[in-house]
Structures are given as C-alpha cells and as structure tokens.
Amino acid sequence: MSRDDKALPSPFQEWFDGRGWAPRGHQLDCLRAADAGRSFLLIAPTGGGKTLAGFLPSLIALNRRERPETGRLHTLYISPLKALAVDIARNVQTPVAEMGLDIAIETRTGDTPQSRRQRQRLNPPDILLTTPESLSLLLAAPDASDFFGGLNALILDELHALASNKRGHLLSLAIARLRKIAPNLALAGLSATVPDPKPLLNFLTPQNDPAASQAELVLGAPGAQPVVDVLVSKERIPWSGHSGRHSFLEVYEQIRKASLTLVFVNTRSQAEATFAALWDLNEDGLPIALHHGSLNVDQRRKVEAAMAKGVLRAVVCTSTLDLGIDWGDVDLVVQMGAPKGASRLTQRIGRANHRMNEPSRALLVPANRMEVLECIAAKQAIEEGALDGAPPRVGALDILAQHILGMACSGPFQADDLYEEIRSAAPYATLSRKDFDDALAFVSTGGYSLSRYERYRKLIVSPDGDYQVRDRRVAQQYRMNVGAIVEAPSLNIRLAGKTSKRAGYKLGEAEEWFFEGLAPGDAFYFGGEVLRLERIEGTDAVVTRTISDNPRLPVWGGAKFPWSTFLADKVRYMLYHPETWSAYPEQVQFWLNKQREVAKLPKPDELLVETFPYADRYFLVCYPFDGWLAHQTLGILLTRRLERLGAQPIGYVPTEYALSVWARRDMRDVDMSALFDEDMLGDDLESWLADALLMKRTFRNCAVIAGLIERKHPGQEKTGRQIAFSSDLIYDVLREHEPDHLLMRAAWDDAAGGFLDLARLQALLTRVAGKIAVSALKRVSPLAVPVMLEIGREIVARDASEAVLQSASEAIIEEAMGSA
Amino acid sequence: MTNPVIRICDEAFTPDPLGGLFWAREKTLIVSDLHFEKGSSFAERGVLLPPYDTKTTIDRVRALMRRYAPGRVISLGDAFHDGRAEDRLDANDLQALADLVKSVEWIWIEGNHDPAPPKRLAARSEKQLRIGEISFVHEPTANARGEIAGHLHPCASIVHERRRLRRRCFAVGAEQIVMPALGAYTGGLNILDLAFESLGAVFQPWVMGEKGVYPIARDKIRPDTLRRHGDRAAS
C-alpha cells in the first residue's frame, strides 16, 4: 500500500513522528476496515503492535467526537486474563496521556470494587476493558440495552486462545446479544498466527445471515524466521521419563550465555523439579525464578515485574507465560521435553526477542529417545512455517443453558427470537431447534421427561409466549454461577503462624488430589522451597519451611494434552524412512537400526502390533502414535476385549507414541483385526463409562456450568450456607432414568472431545482397519523399550473400583491372618 | 462373592451392597435413611434435581426384599426427607411403596426428619424397638450394647493402590452397627468424624461396592481433605 506522510490524523501522526515511528501497514489496514464500519481479524506475531492496531480506530474516533455530558460506552475490550486487561489498560493509557486525549479508560473484573462497578453502570467510561465472564454479567442486567446501546467497537484480544473453548462459546453468545443491542457494532479480533483463520473470521461474523458481510482479514508482516536447535546431549539420552535430568547442566550453560531465558516445561511438577535442579547447579548464583499456576498471584506478579525490570536471568515456567504482554527482553526460549504441537511451540518461541527484525532463538530439549524424534519433527515444522490446530468445537450445551438463563434475567424473550439470535454465533450456527428447546426446558423446569416441577419453574411464560425469570432469587442464582471455568476443589497452602495457632501467609494453592498422596510430616517441593505438611484445617493446608534430603515431588493430576496429529504424521514418516535418520543423534540411529534388524519398523499407514513374553507375562505393544489420551482410551477398551477372549489381561500403560498391554496368556494368536475393530467404540465404551471417575468429574463440571448445582465460592465453605450436593448421585440417577438428558449429552460431548479423545481414536481405528502388521517376537523389541519402562511409573487411571476395594479388603485379611 | 457376616451380641447380620442389613434368624430386613422426596425438597428451593430419587430408592428396597424374602422390614427413621414429603409423592411411587409396606410386617422407626408416622402408608410406628438383645433406633446412642441405628450416613474414604475411593459403609463397632443411608440422594459423613468418635466405640467400615461389602482396616481410611457441606443429610 502507499503510505503518504499524513497517514494518521493529528495528534496521532505527531505522536508517532515524535517517537521516530511510522504506523505499520497492518495498523493502517485495520484503521481502514474500521472506518468502513467493517469487522476485522488481525493476525500478527507478538511484538507487532497488535494491541495498538486494535485500539487506534477507537482512539481516533473518540478524539473526533463531541464529548457527551454523561458517559456512553464506545469501545469494549475483552481479554482472556484478568491481569492482562489491567496491563493493557495501563499500556493504552500511556499514549492517551501523552497525546493529551480526553478519553476515559477503565477496567472491570471480579476484583473491581462494588462502588466503582455501580458508578460504571450509571456513568460508563469511553473504553471498558473486561473479561468474558464480566461481559455476560453485564448483559444479564435489566439495563443492558441502555448500557451497551452506544457501543461502536468490540476488541477481542488473544482470540486464538478463546475462540475454540467453552469460554469462547460463552463469549460468542454474548457477542450475538451485543449485536442485537448495537446493530452497527464492529469487531476487532487480535490473534497470534493460526493454521487456518477461517474459524476466527466466522467467530467475528454473524452466521445464518445472508446480508452480513464477512470480517476482513488483516495480516501483519511475519517476524524473522526463528532459529531453533534441538539439544543433542553428550550425555546418554534416557529411554523414557520426562524430566530431562540428563541435560540440566547443558541447559544451565545456555542460560549463562543468554541474558534472559524462558525455560518452558509441560507440567507444574516438572517446573518444580527443573527449578530445583537448576539451583543445585547454580554456582554463579544467577537469579533464576519460578512461575506456575499454583503459585500465589502476588508471587507471580513479582516474578513478572522482575522480568520487566531486567533483574532476572531465567524463569522456569509452564503455560502460565504462554499468553500476556511482554515482560522483558527474552533472548532465549528453552522447551524442556517434547513441545507437543507446532503452533504451541511457535507461540512460546515468539516470547523471545520481541524486536521484530531479529530472529527468536529456541532450544528444544528432548527428555527421552522418542522425544528426540518429536523435537526434530517440530523443528522442521517451525522451519517450514507449518502449524497445527484442532478444528473448533461445536458450542457446548451447558454454556447454552447458562446463557439462556442470563438472557431471561435481562428481560422477557420469545423463544423463536432467541433461537435466531443464538444461531448467529459461530459455535452455535448449526444448533438444532431440538437442542435449543431442550436447553430452554432444562432452564425452565429441569427438562425431565417426567415433568414434576411445573410449580417450581424458574422461567415463567406469559400467554404471549414471553419467557422471563420467576423472581429475583433465580437471577441471584445466575449471577453466582456465571462462567465457563469450574475450579477443581482446592486447598490454600499456608505457612503456619509463628506465634498464634492460626495459619499465616498464603504461598499458593493446589487441587485437593495434590494432597491425597501426602501425610502430615511429609516434605515436598512447592514454589521452589521444601515444605513440610503439618496439618489440614478446613480449606488450608498448613505447612512449615523445612530442610529435607528427600522431599517428594507431588504429582498434580492435571490435564494431559496430547501431541498434535501433525507432528505424529511427521514422526511416523521419518521412522519408516531410514534416509531421514541422519538428523538424529547417533544413539537414536543405533537404536532404530537395531529395531530394523531384529523386528519391524512401523509403516506410516499401518499399525504395528508386537507380541512377546517378558518376566512371566505376555505383552502386546502397538504403535499408533496418536497421543496419550487416545491410547489410554484404547487401552481401556482393548483390555475389556482381551478379558472376554480369555487372555486374562492385567494392566496397560499408554505413552504418546505407543500402548503396552500385558496379560497372563500369550496374545500372539489373537485375531488382531477383530481386536482393533471400530465397533469397540460402541457397547464396550458405554459400559466402561458407567463407572468412570473422569466421566463423573466431567459431568460435575457440566452440571455446575449449566446451573443445576451451585458453584463453590472461596470463603463460602466457612459460612456453610450453600447447599452442596454430590453430583455423582445425580449422575447415577440420570444415567439410569434419563440417559439422553441435556446434561448427559453435554458431558458426553466434553468427554469425547476431552479425556477420551474419541475423534482421534476413531480416526486411528479407521486408518488401520485391514492394515495391521503383527510381529510375534521372542523378546522385547528395541522400539518397545520406552513404553516398557513406563510400566509402574505412570499412574494408570484404572476405574475398576471394585477391584481396588477387594484388594484393600484382602490386604487386611492377609494382615490379620499373618499376625495370627 | 458371598458376603461376610457382621456379628454383634452373638447375632449374625448380613450386610448387602445395596445398603440393607439382613438378620436371617429373625427374617428381618433393616433399611435406613431412605429420605424419600429429597429431590423435590431441593426443587422447592430452586435446585431442579432429576425427579427420580424416590423411585430409585423404592427400587432398591424392592430388590432387597426380593433377594432376602423377609417377613419383617424395619425402616430405621428418616424415611421421609421432611414433614410434607409424603404429600409430594408421585402417584406411582406412592402405590409402589404401599405395595411393599403391605406385603410384610413393616415397622417405621421415627427419625428427626419424620417424627410423625406417614398418614397414607400406615404401619406400626415406634420411637424405638427391641428384638431380643438388639435395639433399633434412629439416632445411635453412646456406649450402646446391641444397637442398630442410622442417622449418621457413614461413609469411608479409602486410599489403596494409589487410588482414593469414597463410598457409603456400615460402621461396625464392637456391639453397635450404624447403617448406611439408602436414599438415592443421601450423602455421607466420614466415619472418622467426631460424631462417630463421641459414641465411645471404634468403628470399622464395611464398605459398599457394586458386588459385595468389604471390611476395610482403619489404617487404610482417611478423613476428608475438604469439608463437604450438606453431604450429611441436613441433620
């Protein structure tokens, strides 16, 4: 595009000139789209002036207008993180102050004091920065149409992180309502690089409306090509495990050479372990800090501030630093362990060196031999600029129910109108009328086929068909429950008070199951310190600082996210093509050559199944390369089938790459095509899910989001006023009497897209149907070694509660008999 | 598996995984804390739980009666969740329950939730009952000898093989049994709670599985890490 000298109106051009800057091409493109009243999606790498591009159209428009006497909200900004909204407000206020613009900018989050929220209602600022949850709350208020009536612009930051999950669903529904209140609203989506912008463009464009024009795509200039290396350790590369322990010294050397390093790890446990190990090596006393989701917010903010000030040399972090503003001049990103996906890795690498013209530097550190293959595949993907991504999920039904109740709180609606409005949101574009009606019935009366709750209706219907909340209590219930995130029950980690018996300073918090493996007196790592658990009091875990030679590294359950199909395809290909092996370290080449000699290499389009005896057991190992979650589901289903075939399976363990099942009987003669038949996704899956703990947890989340059971709020435990109700009991009753209920469907959708990874398992079974290569061996194959070493190390989520009870009971009987 | 029997005062009782206790010598089935219409009592307060809890509970009692063919059934109190619960019974549930009550010598023990006997399901109603050495009462008494009670909804949290399970259980003392709650929507109180300790006995959990009832050593059970409000039936 041509750039004349006066690209921007006064005083904006002068402000840019004063800094020796020129507006970037994409910033002007955004401005042009906004001037034409069009929505746009800006995709640019971090450091590309994205935020300013999003706000510039509003700042210019606001500077042009006559200032009204009372405030009228002009621009709304939504961020996925509360803290980010606050930071961005500060960043936007700086140029506004420097240009002397008369524009009021405020934030509104869960932390905003009641008095200010009240005042914002009566006299809104020009620009409000908030979160999806706060937006939903504002929209559920009876004065929502007044409040948002003058809205011109809606800026959605980090849209790639929001659009495809439940918070994104909630946000999409809020946008549908905003459009109805303010028909001329233009949206600005800001996103990191994504493989396919189409779903995000749809998110910004009203669906099912032939008159609507598609949001415009604006692309920022790509940054310099990053320089990515895979650490080829001089040490022996382990066969299995995820710690990366063998390479800590080499990583430490890299940290010494760089000025600020971000060390990304995949789990909080790894963060604690890596942090402790680096400090063991830290003879130079380099300022190395720790940042993860369980640490106290104050602690995390301190680390961020220290990064910004440039006083740190390295930060060991989890995905908590994936998003957000830039906190300093990072010049090296280290990824410990496999990166899992090219897009995620790109995002993390983007954290290094935010000067656009200089390349980011990244070092991938494989923790074991299999991860070497994955890291090299990821390096190649980055060099090709290739990205992976999951297709967007269809709008969740529990979120839909929550939104319907919110809309009923704001005022009466006709079912037909609300249905049309909701279908304008991209995630709900294909919502069937039946699903909508079921959700409406659920909100009104519970939606049970046995209708017994007419007199307890939450929504009343007027003779004209207007739906409305029955009373203020129902509206209150909604306000307490809004949001798409359900926190796992968690305990505060507090230092024991010195003088009084009362617990003192809060170090952080951790989910309830974190403490299940700990007994009072146990020492464990937390926040880089060694703590001793003293006692548990209500919702506090009271600890003291201690010194211990052998502190435990508690395992956080947490969600394991599987590696991408994209990287899997690359690894499958490379594995079968020895001419590509020169990219691997010698140890790895030797290992693969050995496999070629004594067993088979898996072909990319086949499923290799090996059987062999080992230590009085018979093993079946297969190599789908389809990720931990899909393999876990496959393991559950295979063991059920093998049980029926009389193979007497004992256990299984999944890894990202392979699945190992062991049994009392030899499985070499099993009909493998029948064993791996797709029909396992029918009855076998159904009957297993009946008692699956994860399924019950998933159901609970849906029941909370949909508003059937109340959310727990911090502090409420102590008052004891709320009615808690075990969702397991509801699950059992619904499964028996109404398995097709809306909530059961919502839970099923979550499970299929979440912990079961059914789409991937389905694709796996389809891919390998008729293409199973069986290899009956006399002993363990080289390729099987990594998964064999995981046995006993991984905690396999078994759901045979009965077996656990039986064995717990037997243990006491044996004990009693032994001592007799 | 065949269920082991619980012995107190030289009498043998068979605990059933559905939550009932059968006294073979007296052909007596004991059930406790049925909490009929707990679901609809929540609905009155705007929590629209699935309205199938009463039916589920009746089905359980019926299954127990089929399994043991008792001549006598003792309901150990809190059969109805509140004073108006009987009036909220669905017609089908009322009929089904009436059929069961009529088919045997049925005895309602009064509980704190239902101090008055049901009007439409007339049967013998007692505050307390004694058969031989054994007394039947809703709320367990301290230092009791030969007592079967309910009220506390015992459950146990077991840690074994790196798994944690929380299940309803029979709390078995030397000469006292506290019955699990049988109602579909009844929660549980951890057997390590003070309420049990204050009874002056050491209780061992006999934990309800799907297929059997399993005695579990006390060193395998844990207190709840988080206080669970409302799990204990609002008592």
Residue A649: predicted pLDDT: 84
Would you call B49 and A725 a contact, using CB atoms and an 8 Å cutoff?
A: yes
Would you call A808 and B50 a contact, using CB atoms and an 8 Å cutoff?
A: no
Average pLDDT for residues A385-403, to the nearest whole number? 88
For A156-178, write each residue's pLDDT tens digit: 999 988 888 899 999 999 999 99
pLDDT at residue A75 greater than cutoff 70? yes
Residue B12: predicted pLDDT: 96
Task: Between A51 and A111, name the one with better pLDDT.
Answer: A51
Rounded to an integer, what is the distance from CA A547 to the centroid of its chain?
35
Report the largest interatomic distance among the alpha carbons of chain B, rounded to a whole angstrom.
50
Q: Which residues of B touch A477 (CB under 8 A)?
A: 46
Residue B33: predicted pLDDT: 97
Through-space distance between the first and last CA atoms of chain A, rounded to whole angstroms? 91
Question: Measured between CB atoms, which of A513, A733, A804 is closest to B165?
Answer: A804
Q: Which residue type occupies A379?
A: K
Question: Measured between CB atoms, which of A445, A717, A807 is closest to B227?
Answer: A717
Percent of chain A with pLDDT over 90: 49
Average pLDDT for residues A663-692, to the nearest whole number? 86
Would you call B230 and A724 a contact, using CB atoms and an 8 Å cutoff?
A: yes
Average pLDDT for residues A719-731, to the nearest whole number? 64
Question: What is the number of alpha carbons within 13 Å of residue A136 lying toward its C-beta?
Answer: 28
pLDDT at residue A675 greater than cutoff 80? yes
Residue A554: predicted pLDDT: 60
Q: To 10 degrees, the CA torsion angle through B156, B161, B164, B166? A: -30
Percent of chain A with pLDDT over 70: 91
**Distance, in angstroms, between B6 CA and closest chain A CA?**
15
Mutation target to probe the A interface, by most A beta carbons within 10 A, among B3, B44, B49, B219 is: B49
Please tell me the distance from the alpha carbon of residue A384 to that of residue A343, in angstroms, as a whole number: 12
Residue A719: predicted pLDDT: 37
Q: Which residue is associated with the tokens 């045997």?
A: B104
CA proximity to A447, closest of B2, B43, B18: B43
Would you call A446 and B44 a contact, using CB atoms and an 8 Å cutoff?
A: no
CA proximity to A805, closest of B162, B209, B155, B5: B209
Mutation target to probe the A interface, by most A beta carbons within 10 A, among B6, B53, B226 is: B226
Average pLDDT for residues B18-34, to the nearest whole number? 97
* A94: exposed, middle or buried (Cβ count in 10 Å: 0-12, 13-18, 19+): exposed
Average pLDDT for residues A74-101, to the nearest whole number? 90
- What are the distances in angstroms from CA A334 to CA A276, A278, A345, A434? 16, 13, 10, 50
For chain A, positions 753-812, list CB contacts with chain B under 8 A: 795, 798, 801-802, 804-809, 811-812
pLDDT at residue B1 greater than cutoff 70? no
Task: Between A522 and A119, name the one with better pLDDT.
Answer: A119
Q: State the pLDDT confidence band at A674, using cuts at 50, 70 and 90.
A: very high
Residue A517: predicted pLDDT: 63
For A615-669, write each residue's pLDDT tens digit: 888 999 999 999 888 998 899 889 889 988 888 888 888 888 999 998 889 999 9
Q: What is the mean pLDDT of chain B?
A: 90
Q: State the pLDDT confidence band at A295, using cuts at 50, 70 and 90.
A: confident
Q: What is the mean pLDDT of chain A?
A: 86
For A112-133, write each residue's pLDDT tens digit: 889 999 999 989 999 999 999 9
Average pLDDT for residues A543-548, to the nearest whole number? 85
Q: Which residues of B touch A737 (CB under 8 A)?
A: 50, 52, 55-56
Please tell me the distance from the alpha carbon of residue B138 to that of residue B77, in angstroms, as a whole number: 5
Average pLDDT for residues A203-207, to the nearest whole number? 96
Q: Which residue is associated with the tokens 């579909």?
A: B184
Q: Looking at A53-62, A597-606, A709-718, which range is the least confident one?
A: A709-718
Residue B164: predicted pLDDT: 74
Inter-axis angle of helices A742-753 and A693-706, to 10 degrees?
120
> Chains A, B: CB contacts under 8 A, how many?
147
Q: To 10 degrees, the CA torsion angle through A786, A787, A790, A791? A: -140
Residue B227: predicted pLDDT: 47
Taking the Cβ of residue A493 and every Cβ of chain B, the question of whether any pair is shorter than 8 Å is answered with no
Q: Which residues of B touch A539 (CB under 8 A)?
A: 226-227
Average pLDDT for residues A340-363, to the nearest whole number? 78
Residue A800: predicted pLDDT: 59
Q: How many CB atoms lie within 10 A of CB A589?
A: 14
Q: What are the DSSP E strand ranges found in A182-232?
A: 186-191, 216-219, 227-230
Q: State the pLDDT confidence band at A680, using cuts at 50, 70 and 90.
A: confident
Task: Between A568 and A813, name the one with better pLDDT.
Answer: A568
CA proximity to A62, closest of A143, A150, A158: A150
Please tell me the distance from the alpha carbon of residue A486 to that of residue A473, in angstroms, as a whole number: 22
- The residue of chain B with its CA nearest to that of A536 is B225
pLDDT at residue A31 greater than cutoff 90? yes
Question: Measured between CB atoms, which of A512, A717, A738 is closest to B225?
Answer: A512
Percent of chain B with pLDDT over 70: 93
Residue B78: predicted pLDDT: 95
For A466-496, write each residue's pLDDT tens digit: 999 999 989 998 998 899 888 777 788 888 8
For A411-430, write each residue's pLDDT tens digit: 999 999 999 999 999 999 99
Q: Looking at A32-41, A263-272, A599-608, which range is the least confident one?
A: A263-272
User: Strand A75-78 relative to strand A413-414: parallel, antiparallel, unpaired?
Assistant: unpaired
- What are the distances in angstroms from CA A107 to CA A90, A129, A726? 10, 5, 37
Would you call A725 and B185 a contact, using CB atoms and an 8 Å cutoff?
A: yes
Q: Which residue type occupies A433?
A: R
Q: Which residue is associated with the tokens 């830290």?
A: A282
User: Strand A659-663 relative to strand A649-654: parallel, antiparallel, unpaired?
Assistant: antiparallel
**Distance, in angstroms, between B40 CA and closest chain A CA?**
8
Average pLDDT for residues A318-341, to the nearest whole number? 82
Taking the Cβ of residue A539 and every Cβ of chain B, the question of whether any pair is shorter than 8 Å is answered with yes
pLDDT at residue B49 greater than cutoff 50? yes
Q: Which residue is associated with the tokens 């493109």?
A: A29
Average pLDDT for residues A773-789, to the nearest whole number? 92
Q: Looking at A131-135, A187-191, A209-213, A391-395, which range is the least confident one?
A: A391-395
Please tell me the distance from the alpha carbon of residue A564 to that of residue A569, in angstroms, as a whole number: 9
Residue A183: predicted pLDDT: 92
Residue A817: predicted pLDDT: 47
Q: State the pLDDT confidence band at A795, using cuts at 50, 70 and 90.
A: very low
Question: Measured between CB atoms, which of B52, B210, B214 is closest to A733?
Answer: B52
For residues A553 and A526, the answer to whether their CB atoms sit within 8 Å is no
Please tell me the distance from the alpha carbon of residue A750 to that of residue A166, in angstroms, as a whole number: 10
